[in-house]
Chains A and B, each alone.
Chain A
Amino acid sequence: MGEKRFMKGNEAIAEAAVRGGCRFFAGYPITPQNEIPEYLSWRLPEVGGVYVQGESEIASVNMVYGAAAMGTRSLTSSSGPGISLKAEGISYLAAAALPAVIVNISRGGPGLGSIQPAQSDYLQATKALGHGGFHAMVFAPNSAQEAVDVLYNAWDYAERDRNPVLVLMDGCLGNIMEEVELPPMKELKEEDIPEWSLSRRNGRDWQGNITPIYTELILEGLNESAGFMYKDWEENDVQVEEFMLDDAEYVVVAYGIASRVAKEAILNLRAQGYKVGMIRPITLFPFPKKSIRNLDYGKVKGIIDIEMTIPAQMREDIELQVLERCPVYEYGRSGGVLLDDEGVYEAIYEIVSGGENNG
């Protein structure tokens, strides 16, 4: 049994990172993620880790690059505007095959946007986290507890793949307080430090080398193996929650905070006799293609994409699996205006009760 606490999402993330072995954090303040650095500023020193408030986002992500090269489990966090600034460094992490975890507690955009929560960074997270055509695994937990579970294990994926991992949550989930059960501290030993890391140079007869620049044939080879890695993820690492799909005539697709508001609405609609279900991607990349592709389109009359952003950004990924076998609808709020139970219920109700508009 773990330890139960009533915690803020951001603080739960920070504690779970520490328990998952994170010993280095560098970041720069931005709402709505400030509790992550604030918490780690006192928590990391307690466990012999290092906390740095960098002079900028760019400096911070490059400090993470350095710490990761030494084999230290390293973390940076920000919100959309800061993630854009970190994009170069994240691309370099991917190029140098370095494991690190990046948390985006997202807010309204584009630009400086608003400080209030929004799910406006889906495309950035899943399609182009930086230049050069690489991907990171993208996790989108929908509660403080799931965020704890994701952070606790995030470095295991990052080190397995030698690739950065992104955790995408919106400001609601960063700022919500709810119960979490914390897992025990992972006790990492000397031999758990990756063999390739620079800190394990001692005692071997070759010098470790970490670089983000290659000659063209080597780079092509690395690009190819990245492609195989993405295929592997699709086969083995998709995480998805399928909810009440058996008899569903309408299927909501929603992730993160939107999925919780949608689930409440679905239960209320079920009580009225409407057959609605939900597919909730937990990994946004790899995307749960099969769950959507393999729905029984003899029965399913429509897919409803619900996101806290306008226009919906996940829609194209959904449509590529639906392949026009049924209409795809979308509903959202944006700019820092939050989804709410009544709004989402009304939007789904209008579609499932026969309203033929907004297709």
Chain B
Amino acid sequence: MKLSFVFSGSGGQGIMSAGITLAQAAIDMGKHATYLPEYGPEQRGGSAKCTVVISDEPIISPLPKFCDNLIVMNEQAYAKFGEDVKPGGILLANACRITETNAPEGVTVISAPVDDLALEVGNAKTANIILIGILIGATEVVSEEAFKESLEVKFKAKKPEILAMNLNALQKGIAIGKQYKK
């Protein structure tokens, strides 16, 4: 199985971090993955995009234009990349910042209030973990257990509350994603 993901939004929304975390989890599971960031010169507020390809086979090109899973975190990203998702794919939109989505035919739209959910969990920075939770729930690209393990490793040095908060964010995401599991 080979799946491509494009995460897009603006700098500071955790776009790059979401991409790396997902790719790293896939690698930890013994899959192959590439992560390719694209960004402007700004540290915050500029456009941010990354492309992740995950496959059971070694990856040849890391540069698909059309992806299986498009994640858009704001209006600008949606306007720019909204069409770049394959039929049969998923368009995951941050409902807090994107009011209306007209997905291409055959594309499943998941419109989730990611920012609000993150605040509910306790920190806006958990938005990217919620995104990954939704993707895991909907595609099973990496197993729930494997991703939990990689979160445990990632937050080992931090306070236990931080890990608990991120696991909570993951669960919230997975619960949403599962509603769209084919």
Question: Are A and B associated in one complex?
Answer: yes
Are B63 and A257 in contact, CB atoms less than 8 angstroms apart? yes
> B residues near A, CB below 8 A?
20, 23-24, 27, 32-38, 40-41, 59-66
A343 contacts across to B, CB distance below 8 A: 65
User: What distance in Å separates the Cβ of A144 from its nearest Cβ neighbour in chain B?
Assistant: 9
Are B34 and A176 in contact, CB atoms less than 8 angstroms apart? yes
> A residues near B, CB below 8 A?
6, 31, 115-116, 172, 175-179, 257, 260-261, 263-265, 267, 338-343
Q: Which single member of B20, B40, B60, B64 contacts A177 (CB below 8 Å)?
A: B20
With A175-B37, A178-B59, A261-B61 given, name 20 new contacts (CB 8 A): A6-B27, A6-B33, A31-B41, A115-B41, A172-B36, A176-B34, A176-B36, A177-B34, A177-B35, A178-B32, A178-B34, A178-B35, A260-B60, A261-B63, A338-B63, A340-B64, A341-B61, A341-B65, A342-B64, A342-B66
B64 contacts across to A, CB distance below 8 A: 340-342
Closest A residue, CB atoms, query B36: A176
Are B35 and A264 in contact, CB atoms less than 8 angstroms apart? no
Q: Which single member of B36, B60, B63 contacts A175 (CB below 8 Å)?
A: B36
Most buried by B among A265, A267, A339, A340: A340
Are B23 and A177 in contact, CB atoms less than 8 angstroms apart? yes
Are B61 and A263 in contact, CB atoms less than 8 angstroms apart? yes
Are A6 and B61 in contact, CB atoms less than 8 angstroms apart? no
**What are 21 of the A-B contact pairs (CB < 8 Å)?**
A6-B24, A6-B27, A6-B33, A115-B40, A116-B38, A172-B36, A172-B62, A172-B63, A176-B36, A178-B32, A178-B33, A178-B62, A179-B32, A260-B60, A260-B63, A263-B61, A265-B61, A338-B38, A339-B63, A341-B63, A341-B65
Most buried by A among B33, B34, B36: B36
Q: Which single member of B41, B62, B65 contacts A342 (CB below 8 Å)?
A: B65
Most buried by A among B24, B41, B59, B63: B63
B41 contacts across to A, CB distance below 8 A: 31, 115
Closest A residue, CB atoms, query B24: A6
A267 contacts across to B, CB distance below 8 A: 60
Instruction: Enumerate the 3 nearest inter-chain pairs by beta-carbon distance, A residue then B residue, closest first.
Output: A264-B61, A340-B65, A177-B35
